[in-house]
Structure formats: C-alpha cells, structure tokens
Amino acid sequence: MPDALLVLADGSVFPGQSIGVEGHADGEVVFNTSMTGYQEMLTDPSYAGQLLTLTYPMIGNYGMDAAVEESARIQPTGLIVREAATFFSHIRAAGGLSDYLKAKGVVGISGVDTRAVTRKIRRHGVMPGTVTTHESAEAAAARLRGYASYDDVNWVTTVTTDREYDWPASGESRLRIALLDGGVKRNIMRSLASRGCAVRVFPSTTRADEMLALRPDGIVLSPGPGDPRLLETMVAETRQLIGKVPILGICLGHQVAAQALGAGTFKLPFGHRGGNHPVQDTVTGRVTVTAQNHGYAVDAAGLDGAAYVSHINLNDQTVEGIALKTEPLMTIQYHSEACPGPLDNDGIFDRFVGMMAAVPGGVI
C-alpha cells in the first residue's frame, strides 16, 4: 500500500513509499538529471524551497558520506525518487539514504514514475507540489492551493550564513577573498583554499564597504536559491564593488552581477539542473560540459556596454557567463565547483586567481 503521495498543483497524484520522516513538505517541484551525486545535491542550498526529483532511477547505491556534503543540512524540502536503495555499497559509505533523510528530518518518496513527473514538468514548467505521508490526495491538493508562490520568497535569507566566518587556505595563504554568501557550496571554498586563498564568508546582507574593509584581493558572489530579482540589496552592493576589486560570480552571483551591470533576469520554464550542459566560450569557441542548477537566467538586453556575454548554453542559447571588457570581473551561470558534476571547469578558479594576481598590489 502506498504510504506516501506526491501531489502536484495540476492535480496529478503519484503514490509511493515514504523514505523520510512522516509529515508533509511543499515546494516547487524540480528535476535534476545527474546520475551520481545525490548527497551533494541534497545539501546544495540552491534547492531551498524546492522538492527535488532525481531522474536517475536508483538512488542511494553508494550510501552517504559526510565528507561530500556541500552544506550543513538537507536543503530541498523533500526528495522524490523512483527507488531508494535499501542496500548500499562503498568503501566510504557511513549510512543509507533513507536513514539520512530521517536523521535530518526531511520527507521523501520512492516508487514514483519520476520520468513521468519529469516529462510533466518539461511540458508544463516547474509547479508547486507536496510530498505527504498522512493526508488524502484531495486534502493535500486543497492545501497546495494555499501554497505561497516560490517566486515570491527571498530564499537567500533562509540559507545565507547568519554571521561571518573564515575558511582558511590550505597551505600557504597568498590571497584573501571576501565571499558574499547567497547559499554557497563548500567546494567553492575548498577550490579557493586549495589555490592559496583565505576566504571570509559574509552574510548576504553585508554592505560593500564592510567587505572592502577586509582589503580583499577578490570578491566571490556565491550561488544560491530563488528569484534574483528579489535581491535588490545584493545587486546594489555589488554595483559598489565593480571596478574596485576582481570579482567572480557563480550562478546566483552571476545573476546578481549581471543585474548590477544593467541586465535583467527571467524564469526558465523548468530550469537547468544536471551535470551535462554544454557551455560555449564565445571568445574561444571551446565547449565544456558543466554542472548546473538554476531556475532563472540572465537576459543580456540592457547589459552595460562595458560588459559582454562570455559564455552561452548550447542547448537553449541562454547566457552562461558575462565579463567586463577591461575590468577584472567574470561571472558564470554554471558551477565550476562541480560537486556533483564534471570537473572540466575548475580552471575558472585558476583564472580568477590569475586575475587577482594581475592586479597591482593585490598580493598580501
């Protein structure tokens, strides 16, 4: 007998088995097509407020390993899978998926035809849904009608750090970075730290002058969840930073910087979430495979004349990166830190380090 239900806003119901805690959780239902990296995805703050559907059907095969967590908690409101492995096998595994969800207090459902869910979202766009273990489908659907729109919530405030903290460089510290946290993933810090960067992480509400007071060699604008148009303060503060210090914007940070440079943003019908998106460098023509997780994209119309589109997505031609022609600023819509996903783009961090090193007096 089904002991959990996935109910979508369009009224469709998918019965399944509960794999997490009892209760219900609402969220914008999204899907990710990565075949590995479920724990990295579960702990990615960009999934705040969303119900995560994984298209790969067998999830949990290699168990759970705290070392790969990208943040301290499970970020999506719930997990939707075709099958949650009851048995896991890996040298690093310290527990199973279902126990993990339960320990972290998150709902989950297995036994769902996740391909059917994915096709629905592809056709009709992302939509609200709920995973519930204690209600009838009708009751859940009725409750969903009162669901506040995902787009109206400033999700960044729910995931950013509440106080600043330091992530030390591994080995000799050569550069100092101020990171504005909109929902950062740990591998961004790891990637910077391994390149001799000492990172100070600031809450999303931090003012530009507070960060500049650190006399950083560079600023990183982090990824994060939600509609970037709600982030007026971050955009305004970023405007204060441009031209003063080298800047790297990743995902949400890219959208924030783009807005600071006059561009707009819009919501994609069903987002880009996966580890297989081809991105082309508009200057070199080179294509790399990227990890992506975003529901909004930059509209380049209105972009400051000093900036140009540096990368595009080959699937739908959306903007994947911008750069300033003469100033040290680059942003990418995809995730150079991977985790999960291909490692092809960690050269971005090297480029950023190079960019910082090239600024006179930049080295501490």
Choose one: 151-159, 273-281, 295-303, 329-337; the region binding other proteins (CB under 8 A): 273-281
Residue from 196, 276, 308, 357 touching other proteins (CB under 8 A): that is 276
The answer to whether 210 is a known catalytic residue is no
Residue from 17, 61, 154, 233 touching other proteins (CB under 8 A): that is 61
Q: Which of 157, 151, 64, 155 is nearest to 104 (CA)?
A: 64
Binding mask 29-58 for other proteins (x = CB under 8 A): --x-xxxxx--x--------------xxxx
Which entry of 28, 83, 251, 254 is annotated as an active-site residue?
Answer: 251
Binding mask 299-338 for other proteins (x = CB under 8 A): ---------------xx----------------------x
Per the structure block, which two tokens stand in for 91? Answer: 């040298």
The answer to whether 24 is a known catalytic residue is no
Q: By CB under 8 A, is residue 99 in contact with other proteins?
A: no
d(CA 176, CA 192): 10
Residue closer to other proteins by CB (options 51, 261) is 51
The answer to whether 335 is a known catalytic residue is yes
Residue closer to other proteins by CB (options 26, 70) is 70
Per the structure block, which two tokens stand in for 34? Answer: 């990565």
Q: By CB under 8 A, is residue 286 in contact with other proteins?
A: yes
Q: Contact residues for other proteins (CB under 8 A)?
A: 14, 31, 33-37, 40, 55-58, 61-62, 65, 67-68, 82-83, 87-92, 113-116, 118-119, 122, 274-278, 280, 285-289, 314-315, 338-344
